[in-house]
Structure 1
Amino acid sequence: MRVISLCVDGIHQAAQRGLFDWIEEQDADIICLQDLRALEYELDDDIFHPDGYFAYFFDSGVKHYNGVAIYTRHQPKALIYGLGFASGVDMEGRYLQVDFERYSIGSLLAPTAFSETESQEVKIKFFDDFQALLHKVTRKRRHFIFCGNWAMAHSKKDVENWQNNTNQSGYLPHEQQWMNQLFRQLGYADAFRVAVPEAGEYSWWPSGKIGEGDGWRTDYQVVSEALTRKVEYAAMYKTRHFSSHLPVIVDYDIDDL
């Protein structure tokens, strides 16, 4: 099973750059897109509904702001819109999940934060609530793949020239600690790193142009523990650029959802 995740910086722009032509070449089972910057009613054109896929969208209700999508070749048994945090902070990002018999795949756009204290507080609250949810679902008898732009890098090998970025949002000590807890205590795994443990692979460039300035790896497919053994192949697609992020491609040894 092939799963692709990409933060598109606006789905209309990505389409103009050939995203959906490329998608047709990939024969992916699941495609998760983030940061659509479009409302669902603006996506009626056939290009946004490629043949062979069920298409699901969760917009922000605000024009030109966030939103996520999932394209799947397999009709899901259920859809989950949002994370259901009591605090409501999950709506500062976006999350959409498709459920199958044994597997759940989510498309996540985490809140970003820059220098503003309030934005940092929102991001911290979001990930604290998300960690509690991830801990809860580990007890469920199903497998999870959480795809998306997590708006943070895990370790030194995920940030180019990390020494110059230690005070940047996305690579702050509490963010690294959160990722460490995710992978070392909660039992989840970074599917890309399972297949590609070497440093020097980045998925996002803050400059807005791939290859210009320092690269970061903020785009992940995070999998529940049992799926670690199912990862067969992972790569960043670099030949064509659809946004400031690269598509993350992971192949899993899964035949039946």
Structure 2
Amino acid sequence: MLTVTTLNVNGIRSAVNKGLEAWVERTAPDLLCVQELKAQAGDMDGRFTTLGGLRGYFHFAVKKGYAGVGIYSRHEPSDVVVGIGVPEFDDEGRYIELRFDTPARRCSVVSVYFPSGSSGAERQQAKFRFLDQIAPHLARLAGAREGLVCGDVNIAHTEKDLKNWRGNLKNSGFLPEERAWMTRLLAGGTWVDVYRRLHPDTEGESYTWWSNRGQAWAKNVGWRIDYQLATPALAAAARRATIDKAQRLSDHAPLTIEYAASL
């Protein structure tokens, strides 16, 4: 089995202080895709470059304490790709891809952090620009190799994916344009929402993010905005998905999926 976890850590230092390394040692994923590192290369050296026996590969934002993504891997990749070739978003540290290529197979694992538009109209427009750029990038990726894209997409796709959907119809993360973008991405058959393949009807137990405001966590007023998207053959190999809420490592919960596959 290949075990893959994705988690927005909301600061790698904070998550480790809350027990992330012990969690990784206990659960032993083969790949841990992380988002929102909020750290630079100098902050990682000697402290966070490995985690629970996994080696980390990272894409840092230019701005200190902002965004950043990484993949901790038990397996050595054949290549590492940083960024999507768009300076506006590459400067924000939003995409890293590990390639595991052999003569018989080409496979990529991606950690990606989509922008949030919740802070205002300017960032929402940036989010729309990112969606316009990442869609063809993912189409090219799926056309060339097997792929698994893990990350915080900052979009709840359907009414089942958040608690108060009626009250969020005009809010970033549940806007009609964002949901339509996700529908188009999944409709072509090149990318599969793996959690929904395994659990097509779940609602409250599917949430992966809760606001720190009010009592969202206690009342389970959450959103499902963290995904594992796979090309069809890999998606078909998915056997089990879990969202671990036993230990709060971040304002997000780890989404782990087991695949009857190998790298």
TM-score (norm: length of structure 1): 0.93
Corresponding residue of 1:230: 237
Q: How far apart in 2 are the matches of 1:213 and 1:3?
A: 24
The 3 A distance-change label for structure 1 pair 212 and 12 is farther
Q: Take 2:199 and 2:220, find their aligned partners in 1: how far apart are those partners?
A: 23
| CA displacement 1:15-35 (0-9 Å, x = unmatched) | 110011010011211001110
Q: Is the 8 A contact 1:56 1:69 kept in 2?
A: yes
Amino acid at match of 1:100: F
Find 2:152's aligned residue among 144, 149, 152.
149
Q: Is the 1:210–1:245 contact (alpha carbons within 8 Å) kept by the matching residues of 2?
A: no
CA contact under 8 A between 1:93 and 1:111: conserved in structure 2? no
| Bigger mean CA deviation after superposition, 204-213 or 1-10 | 204-213
Aligned pairs (5 A) from 1:52-201: 52-85=53-86, 88-92=88-92, 94-101=94-101, 102-114=106-118, 116-140=120-144, 142-197=145-200, 198-200=202-204, 201=206
What is the Cα deviation at residue 47 of structure 1? 5.3
**Quick one: which amino acid aligns to residue 225 of structure 2?**
T
Give distance in 1, aligned partners of 2:98 and 2:142: 17
Gaps of 5+ in 2: none
**Identical counterparts, % of pairs:** 34
CA 1:60 to 1:226, structure 2 compared with 1: closer, same or farther past 3 Å? same
What secondary structure is seen at the aligned counterpart in 1 of 2:76?
coil
Considering fraction of residues, name the structure with more strand: 2
> Aligned equivalents of 2:140 and 2:48: distance in 1?
38
- Root mean square deviation, CA, Å: 1.7
Give the secondary-structure state (helix, strand or coil) at the position aligned to 2:143. coil
Q: TM-score, normalised by structure 2?
A: 0.91
- Deviations 1:52-84, CA, capped at 9 Å, x for gaps: 322112111222111111110110000001111
The answer to whether the Cα contact below 8 Å between 1:206 and 1:244 also exists between their aligned partners in 2 is yes
State the Cα distance separating 1:115 from its structure 2 match: 5.4
Deviation, structure 1 residue 90: 4.5
- Aligned position for 1:11: 12
CA distance in 2, matches of 1:46, 1:136: 35
1:82-132: per-residue Cα shift (whole Å, max 9, x none)?
A: 1113x6345445111100012100111111112522211110010111111
One-letter code of the match for 2:211?
P
Q: Would the aligned equivalents of 2:25 and 2:53 in 1 still touch at CA under 8 Å? A: no
Secondary structure at the counterpart of residue 137 of structure 1: helix
| Counterpart AA for 1:67 | G
Distance 1:103 1:114, change over 3 A: same
Structure 2 residue 57 is matched with structure 1 residue 50? no
Partners of 1:110 and 1:211 in 2: CA distance? 26
Give me the whole-angstrom Cα distance separating, in 1, the residues matched to 2:240 and 2:172. Answer: 30
5+ long unaligned stretches in structure 1 = none
Q: Which amino acid is 2:208 matched to?
A: S
Give the 4+ runs in structure 1 shifted more than 4 A: none
Paired residue secondary structure (2:222): coil
- Count residues in correspondence: 254
SS of equivalent residue, structure 1 residue 138: helix
Deviation at 1:193, TM superposition (A): 1.1
